[in-house]
């Protein structure tokens, strides 16, 4: 008789087919700004106090043996709310856990942080920089202009007396422009046997400004509609703050409707830009073109005598369209001609012709022109 126990389940391997997701690209880089904030600065669960020093005056001449002005330096504590939350709650059935070595509480928490928390905090930091930037420059960058664009940013930082220790966050597209920028020498080393390697890394500019690539999704922040090219910012201009940061587990023995472990977590966090540091944030962005959606003419019909003229006026919508250019044409120039740019219509001989105004993206409007003999 076989007395061997029957195995009802067996665990598979602990391997997880993980989604690709990078670690922090922005949040941790800027963490220096939060080093001065301690637990004593927190007020309640979602508020933190920021110290602000004021009372400084311009330098004046010293009066010997006389009364010299003195100013009172004061410290004010500004209370700032943390506006972002990361709550998660997951149920994990005990039977599922018994069948998979990968289905552990630690793996679930780790994957949530990696897939959800990390990219969202990067977006929060970028959004805070964008909303509080001292200057935003709209420009379309190319290989020929990217270095000039950085030089303009560096000039801005110098003129605003921003000390060293700033970084340059760039989109992947702009990083490619930097690698191929006009005027940058490109070299590679070889030996007698084979190519040793080609190193085209752009790690920093002018020997001191680190270049940090940020993925397309994260560098657009939470709701930035314009395309971010790059951001130049001091490392201490912003304070990424996390409060609470707890993870709790309710064991399956306390589950009333099944046999499941419950995992719960909650963070309050935000990226606080210091008021006095706002002018030290420089952003290069590209405003996406606004397409024309329609065009109308001031007249849909027009009567002219032979030799007479009148100018048509086209109105493009929306008014903020990027390219509002219009080209005029006649379907029968033997009856009526029109200047392609000005829209000036001239009657040539008796008959009917149609004048069409066409936008750069193909929207059009037509005016029927009737020419009468003298």
Task: Look at residue 16 in the predicted model and tell me its pLDDT.
Answer: 65
Strands, DSSP E only, in 142-194?
Answer: 166-171, 189-190
Please list the pLDDT of the chain residue by residue as tens digits (374 residues).
Answer: 455 554 445 556 566 666 777 788 899 888 877 776 777 677 777 777 777 777 777 878 888 888 888 888 887 777 888 888 889 899 988 888 888 888 888 888 888 988 899 999 999 999 999 999 999 999 989 999 999 999 999 999 889 888 777 899 999 999 999 988 887 665 555 555 555 556 667 767 776 788 899 999 999 999 999 999 999 998 888 888 888 778 888 888 888 788 888 999 888 889 988 888 888 999 999 988 889 999 999 999 999 999 999 999 999 999 989 899 999 999 999 999 999 999 999 999 999 999 999 999 999 999 999 999 97
Q: How many CB atoms lie within 10 A of CB 4?
A: 5
Q: Quote the pTM value.
A: 0.73
pLDDT tens for each residue of 42-79: 777 777 777 777 777 787 888 888 888 888 888 777 78
Q: Is 272 helix (H, G, I), strand (E, B) or coil?
A: strand
Of the candidates 282, 286, 306, 318, which has an alpha carbon nearest to the alpha carbon of residue 136?
A: 282
Task: Look at residue 284 in the predicted model and tell me its pLDDT.
Answer: 96
State the virtual CA torsion across 22, 26, 28, 30 in degrees, nearest 10.
Answer: 170
Of the candidates 316, 315, 314, 323, which has an alpha carbon nearest to the alpha carbon of residue 290?
A: 323
Task: Look at residue 174 in the predicted model and tell me its pLDDT.
Answer: 93
Mind listing the domains of the chain with CATH numbers? 28-51+77-184+196-286 (3.90.1690.10), 294-372 (2.60.40.1080)
Tell me, what DSSP letter sits at residue 319? T
Strand 314-317 with 326-330, pairing: unpaired
Structure tokens at 142: 């190319």
State the virtual CA torsion across 49, 50, 54, 58 in degrees, nearest 10.
Answer: 180
Identify whether the C-beta of residue 176 lies closer than 8 Å to the C-beta of residue 216.
no
Identify whether the C-beta of residue 318 lies closer than 8 Å to the C-beta of residue 171.
no
The Cα 121–Cα 142 span in angstroms is 30
The Cα 229–Cα 357 span in angstroms is 36
Task: Look at residue 6 in the predicted model and tell me its pLDDT.
Answer: 46
Longest dimension (CA), the chain: 122
pLDDT tens for each residue of 69-106: 888 888 777 788 888 888 989 998 888 888 888 888 88
The Cα 338–Cα 343 span in angstroms is 6
Task: Look at residue 254 in the predicted model and tell me its pLDDT.
Answer: 86
């Amino acid at each position: 008789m076989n007395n061997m126990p029957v195995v009802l389940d067996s665990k598979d391997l602990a391997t997880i087919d993980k989604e690709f997701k990078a670690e922090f690209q922005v949040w941790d880089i800027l963490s220096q700004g939060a080093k001065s904030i301690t637990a004593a600065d927190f007020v309640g669960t979602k508020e933190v106090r920021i110290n602000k020093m004021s009372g400084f005056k311009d330098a004046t001449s010293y009066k010997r043996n006389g009364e010299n002005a003195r100013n009172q330096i004061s410290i004010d504590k500004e209370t700032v709310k943390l506006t972002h939350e990361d709550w998660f709650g997951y149920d994990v059935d005990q039977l599922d856990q018994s069948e998979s070595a990968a289905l552990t509480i630690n793996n679930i928490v780790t994957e949530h942080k990696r897939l959800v928390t990390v990219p969202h905090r990067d977006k929060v930091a970028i959004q805070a920089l964008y909303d509080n930037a001292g200057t935003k420059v709209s420009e379309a960058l190319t290989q020929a202009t990217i270095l000039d664009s950085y030089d303009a940013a560096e000039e801005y930082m110098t003129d605003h007396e921003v000390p060293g220790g700033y970084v340059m966050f760039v989109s992947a597209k702009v990083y490619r422009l930097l690698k191929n920028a006009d005027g940058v020498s490109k070299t590679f080393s070889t030996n007698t046997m084979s190519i040793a390697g080609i190193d085209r890394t752009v790690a920093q500019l002018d020997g001191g400004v680190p270049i940090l690539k940020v993925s397309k999704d994260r560098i657009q922040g939470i709701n930035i509609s314009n395309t971010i090219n790059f951001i130049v910012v001091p490392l201490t201009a912003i304070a990424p703050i996390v409060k609470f940061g707890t993870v709790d587990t309710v064991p399956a023995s306390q589950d009333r409707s099944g046999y499941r472990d419950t995992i719960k977590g909650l963070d309050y966090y935000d990226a606080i830009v210091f008021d006095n540091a706002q002018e030290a944030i420089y952003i290069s962005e590209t405003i996406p073109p606004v397409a024309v959606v329609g065009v109308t003419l001031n007249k849909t019909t027009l009567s002219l005598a032979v030799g007479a003229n009148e100018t048509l006026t086209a109105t493009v919508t929306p008014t903020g369209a990027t390219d509002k250019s219009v080209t005029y044409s006649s379907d029968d120039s033997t009856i009526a001609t029109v200047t392609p740019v000005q829209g000036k219509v001239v009657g040539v001989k008796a008959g009917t012709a149609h004048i069409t105004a066409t936008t750069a993206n193909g929207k059009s409007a037509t005016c029927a022109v009737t020419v009468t003999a003298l």
